[in-house]
A and B are shown apart, each in its own frame.
Chain A
Amino acid sequence: GQQLNQSPQSMFIQEGEDVSMNCTSSSIFNTWLWYKQDPGEGPVLLIALYKAGELTSNGRLTAQFGITRKDSFLNISASIPSDVGIYFCAGLPLTGGTSYGKLTFGQGTILTVHP
């Protein structure tokens, strides 16, 4: 089945620094999603990408859908302490049918921001 390789696994940064993380796959995906999970809570959708090459921003967050459909990245600019959490990428396979709506998740990037 499809697998997503998310990197880095963890990041320790100073407040104010920019952050970049990415996901790659050997399979083609139709949709890329980025989630953030705070401790003890469910993941929250940050950005959704639907077209190859698409670049979308949400405040200090920017994400891109790779032109090959096999990768995506998320950037966070000028990090603040509340950015702390686990960030997940997720991809929706190109094919429908029984796999419809079943996302493949990356393993997550743990972000720590030091004040």
Chain B
Amino acid sequence: SQTIHQWPATLVQPVGSPLSLECTVEGTSNPNLYWYRQAAGRGLQLLFYSVGIGQISSEVPQNLSASRPQDRQFILSSKKLLLSDSGFYLCAWSVRPAGELFFGEGSRLTVL
């Protein structure tokens, strides 16, 4: 069966520090991978998605970047965090053609 894991689960970082959140998927090949952010409140904002290794599409201009160095690995990064980067970050995967998304456990980022 397929599983998705992301880490770290919780992160407290000072403004201006770098960020790296990692996500891996097991049990499937060539998945679509996504990074979402959920700010205080509840809406899910799509940040990045990837249909293959090295292929990244950005949905919202921002202080963040994403990379996919391996088929089942997706990384969310920032060189210098801003206060507004605080939030709950969710990695997700899907397998064509159904489009159903399966989410990871989430990473809570607090920027101070």
Interface on A for B, CB 8 Å cutoff? 30-31, 33, 35, 37, 40-45, 48, 50, 86, 88, 90, 92, 98, 100-103, 105, 107-108, 110
Contacts and interface: CB of A to CB of B under 8 A. Distances in A.
Given A88-B44, A108-B42, A101 B106 contact: no
Interface string B82-106: 0000000010101011111111111
B42 A44 contact: no
Nearest to B88: A40
Contact of A42 (B43, B97, B105): B105
A100 B99 CA distance: 8
A92 B98 CA distance: 9
Contacts of B96: 100-101
B94 A43 contact: no
Given A101-B94, A101-B96, A110 B42 contact: yes
A97 to B, nearest CB: 11
Interface centre among B44, B106, B108 (most CB of A within 10 A): B44
B89 to A, nearest CB: 10
A100 B49 CA distance: 11
B46 interface: yes
A78 B99 CA distance: 30
A31 B106 contact: no
Contacts of B43: 105, 107-108
Contact of A107 (B32, B42, B101, B102): B42
Contacts of B34: 102
A45 B100 contact: yes
